[in-house]
Amino acid sequence: MPAPVPGRGRRAPGRLAVLVVSQLLAGVGVASGIAVGGVLAERLTGTTALAGFAQTCSVLGAGLWAIPLARLAQRRGRRWGLGAGYLLAFLGTLLVLTAVAADLVPLLFLGFGCFGAATAAGLQARFAATELVDPGYRARAMSIVLWATTLGSVAGPNLSEVGAALGRRLGIEPLSGPYLFSLVAFAAAAVVIGIALQPAPVRAGTRPEAARPSLLDSLRTTRRNRAAVLAVVAITCSHTVMVGVMVMTPVHMVNDGFGLGLVGLVISIHILGMYGASPLFGVLTDRIGARGVLLIAVLVFAAALLVAGLSGHAHFPTMSLALGLLGLGWSAGMIGGSTLLTTTVADRDRTSVQGATDAIMNVAAAASSALSGLVMGWAGYPALALVAAVVVVPMAVLVLRARPRTLAA
């Protein structure tokens, strides 16, 4: 039995509290931008098809930044990985504001790409939480950090009207006003991480100076691990489906005459579903196992996409139900899959594989975001829900074929 790690116990409340605060702040920053990003891009470019490209750049940026931030965390510690991510997002927000002021569309999309680093850092924080607790509490620790995003993320979209009013008062494009809140939030998150996050204790018997495997070596090892493959597929499918539908919902609603206030409320309900129920899924994962929670994710996704598929015209109750269920499906898939990945990959490969998984899921979601604008422009919102349902199929097949013994930590 490995020797206990000093200060490690069931929970590390001080370090988890730092992650909680940073996630709350980053949640405000990310959600403020997401709520208006697609509409802002549509207004600047004049085409609905490119509205989805705004989120594509943000999600693709999250994917591209995931690996270097994970490698930085592996070499220097989580403080560096998380702090660098929020500073990059701060820079991206500055670029978005500059692009809107100067009417430079390429710079706008470059800014969205750097903005995505905040998502990469926030996702890395869920893995950082698992390093601070004993194995039996990993899912719960992860869910606490994800839950912390709830307050900030729900508040963010509802700042859309306030941000627009602030933008008008400052004489800038109203839709860029919410990005002022993102600017402050990312700066604050970077400061909190840089000052307050202490390194996680090293397990007894480990050798920090030992050579780390390359990313490709880690992925080759993981490919032979059925449980890890299921984890990667579940995480990727969950994120891809969520992003593809979520990013075009504001455009769908605005095109049907809804104001930013109601759009922000629907996105808030969606984000509440993503993060608000995460403690429940964390407890369930620790108690009934990852497979059971991933089965729940598949069923909830099916319900969400069915409701969305029936929404040829946007109705507030229908949109709220569909996006709320979509968020719940994401939460179950992300917590179940991430916990499974953490518990079935060897310590020496874990950080690299976590970063690679986040990169894979964000690149896939970026493709989904780009295609979502095209699908909706050509065939409408119900067709988008149908395409998203197809993406859930590989996850469902692997979950149903998995044996509980295969998924044992």
The predicted-structure confidence for 165-222, as pLDDT tens digits, reads as follows 787 888 777 778 888 888 999 999 999 998 888 765 444 444 444 455 566 666 676 7
Confidence (pLDDT) at 157:
63
* DSSP single-letter state for residue 175: G
Q: Is residue 4 assigned to a domain? A: no
Q: Is residue 150 assigned to a domain? A: yes
12: Cα separation from own chain's centroid: 23
How far, in Å, are 46, 48, 49 from residue 378 at the CA level?
Answer: 16, 10, 9
Q: Is residue 3 assigned to a domain? A: no
> pLDDT category, 60, cuts 50, 70, 90?
confident
Give residues with Cβ within 8 angstroms of 15, minimum separation 6: 132, 197, 198, 200
Q: Is residue 291 assigned to a domain? A: yes
Q: Is residue 7 assigned to a domain? A: no
Domain containing residue 58: 13-199+216-407
> b/e for 79-111, b at 16 or more Cβ within 10 A?
bbbbbbbbbbbbbbbbbbbebbeeeebeebbbb
Confidence (pLDDT) at 44:
79
Task: Enter the tokens of residue 292.
Answer: 């059971």
Q: For residue 38, what is the domain's CATH number?
A: 1.20.1250.20
In this predicted structure, the answer to whether residue 260 has a pLDDT above a threshold of 60 is yes
Cα 313 to Cα 381: distance, rounded to the nearest angstrom = 8
Confidence (pLDDT) at 205:
40
Angle of helix 178-196 relative to helix 78-102, nearest 10 degrees, comes to 160
Q: Is residue 6 assigned to a domain? A: no
Of 20-24, 205-209, 405-409, the range with the highest mean pLDDT is: 20-24
Q: Is residue 371 assigned to a domain? A: yes
In this prediction, residues 23-51 reach a mean pLDDT of 78
Q: Which amino acid is at 73?
A: A
Q: How many residues does the chain have?
A: 409
Contact 293, 332 (CB under 8 A): yes
Q: Is residue 8 assigned to a domain? A: no
Q: Which amino acid is at 121?
A: A
How far, in Å, are 124, 210, 228, 230, 245 from residue 344 at the CA level?
Answer: 18, 21, 6, 11, 30
Give residues with Cβ within 8 angstroms of 180, minimum separation 6: 97, 163, 166, 167
Total domain count, the chain: 1
> Which region among 39-48, 137-146, 175-184 has the lowest average model confidence (pLDDT)?
39-48
